Chains A and B, each alone.
Chain A
Amino acid sequence: MFDVNKIRADFPILTRKIHGHNLVYFDSGATSQKPEAVIEAMNRYYRETNANIHRGVYEMSVESTQLVDDTRRNVAKFVGGESEEIIFTKNTTESINLVAYSWGDENIRSGDAVVITKLEHHSNMIPWQELCRRKGAELRVVDVNENGELVENGEEKILDGKEILVKTGGWRNLLDSDVKMVAFTGQSNVLGTVTAVSEIVRMVKKLSPQSLILIDGAQMVPHMKTNVRSLDIDFLAFSGHKMCGPTGVGVLWGKREILNKMKPFLFGGDMIGEVNLSSATWAELPSKFEAGTPDIAGIIGLGEAIKYLWGIGMDEIRNHEKELTEYALEKMKQLEKENLIINYGPEKNRGGVLSFNVKGVHAHDTAQILNNFGIAVRSGQHCAAPLVINFGVSAMVRATFYLYNTREEIDYFIDKIREVPKVFA
């Protein structure tokens, strides 16, 4: 039974006051809050276990190694992969860079194409832009419609960027035999658009069968059950800190046979097999991609976060967010009818994200005025400048929900949006 009040009691920060008001935290899309169990697991590690992993034969090092291995197994189970296919990185951005450099530099040539979409966060855009520029490859960007949904058939356009050819259009305009990588988000961080991953994957397999597929799961894995095998993808990148874990740990899942063929990304300790003064061989997966001491406490925290999410249930979390979003969208539409705000984003297949502007008020001003009422929302371009500009504005306000948010918070938020224009009246 999903009991939001019980869940809220697990998150110590939610009792905080901001400017004398109860905190209303609507920025989980940027980073989620952390339950006591996660904070406590990391504290316990530093107080009782702290020792470097691998090689150590003494008790604490063995325990540390065990805790990291346990987490790797649980992360693998969480997304439906194998333990050795889970690579710990710093965040989603690093996970995608790993693929763009390690796989991209070996496999993308002049004349090839990489397909991304207009929904992408800069983290799933710039690494590919730069790869294409390095290799003289073409960057193809799938358009969005006025609701922020990816278009299947669109108008093909060519933009001549700096040392890079960029083509835009619908999926069917852009997928062909030149495409070697299709990288797209499972859910837009700006508009909440949940992309039809399975359908798109089927289309890619048909029209660009030679291409690999990477999913940016930063906004997807924390909010819905994700299984890499049933999605039939090649890479999945996501961040621990958006799913109740600490900052500093990200994950790259990749298919074993592809990871095995890839060169290491970073070189140094722990990622080697045999070493002499002129060369080295590489360790097996996943160590090959994990040079240096990782964020051990962070990994342990992520492990605890996964256990916490399992305890609540991913389907229950998704349902709760769906209900909240439908409830909020209804109220936001009413504000739009009253000519107070403009809403952005899709009506259907939407995650817990509201994007809007108060009419005549800049997004930063709206966010700051809401902050004075204890409401934490984000404003700006949300690391997705081309998408925001696509809607004819320079910035948007964004409110994002997670398992601990409530209808009462939404009521309060709607009420306070009404206060915003009054400041400038």
Chain B
Amino acid sequence: MSEYREIIIDHFKNPRNQGEIIDADKVIDETNSSCGDLIKIFVKLLNGKIMDIKWQGVGCAISTAGASMLSEKVVGMNKSDLESFGESGVVKMLGGEINAGRMKCATLAYRGLLKVFD
């Protein structure tokens, strides 16, 4: 079960930074149209950098772990940091083995986060 490494199962079962930020600077909704997964991301910004992040949503193990792990990585990042992290950074973060059919799951939170800086 190469996709379901311990770390993914851990983040899926105990997602980090789940919740909401009442006075968020940006709130983003992102959906995965192939399966109906959706995520709501709350972000506090300071000088163009992410200072705090919380998220809510339902999804599969891959998208949930993707959101949870990403939320631990992005605090302090600005737009160009996030862009250079890239989808390849998401794949690496998840352990390096995501098949093409699951890329939309893996990058759901990441695609949402990019919109923070739109």
Chain A residues packing against B (C-beta within 8 Å): 361-365, 368-369, 372, 379-381, 385, 388-389, 394-395, 423-424
One of A364, A369, A389 near B105 (C-beta < 8 A):
A364
Q: In the complex, how many angstroms separate the beta carbon of B66 from the nearest chain A beta carbon?
A: 12
Q: Are A368 and B102 in contact (CB under 8 A)?
A: yes
CB interface residues, B 1-60, toward A, < 8 Å: 1-4, 9, 12-13, 33-38, 58-60
Chain B: CB-nearest residue to A385: B36
In the bound complex, CA of A350 to CA of B34 (Å): 25
Max count, chain A CB within 10 A of own CB: residue among B2, B3, B99: B3
One of A365, A395, A423 near B62 (C-beta < 8 A):
A365
Q: Are A368 and B3 in contact (CB under 8 A)?
A: yes
Chain B residues packing against A (C-beta within 8 Å): 1-4, 9, 12-13, 33-38, 58-62, 99, 101-102, 105
Q: In the complex, how many angstroms separate the beta carbon of B5 from the nearest chain A beta carbon?
A: 11
Q: Are A424 and B12 in contact (CB under 8 A)?
A: yes
Chain B: CB-nearest residue to A368: B3
In the bound complex, CA of A380 to CA of B59 (Å): 11
One of B1, B2, B9, B36 near A394 (C-beta < 8 A):
B36
One of A368, A394, A423 near B37 (C-beta < 8 A):
A394
Q: Are B1 and A362 in contact (CB under 8 A)?
A: no
Max count, chain A CB within 10 A of own CB: residue among B2, B4, B99: B4
Max count, chain B CB within 10 A of own CB: residue among A364, A385, A394: A364
7 pairs of A and B residues whose beta carbons are closest in the complex? A362-B60, A394-B36, A364-B60, A380-B35, A395-B35, A365-B60, A365-B61
In the bound complex, CA of A318 to CA of B13 (Å): 43
A-B contact pairs, 12 of them (CB 8 A): A362-B59, A368-B102, A369-B1, A369-B4, A385-B36, A388-B36, A394-B36, A395-B35, A423-B9, A424-B4, A424-B9, A424-B13
Contacts of A365 in B (CB 8 A): 4, 60-62
Contacts of A372 in B (CB 8 A): 1-2
Q: Are B13 and A364 in contact (CB under 8 A)?
A: no
Q: Are A395 and B36 in contact (CB under 8 A)?
A: yes
Q: Are B61 and A424 in contact (CB under 8 A)?
A: yes
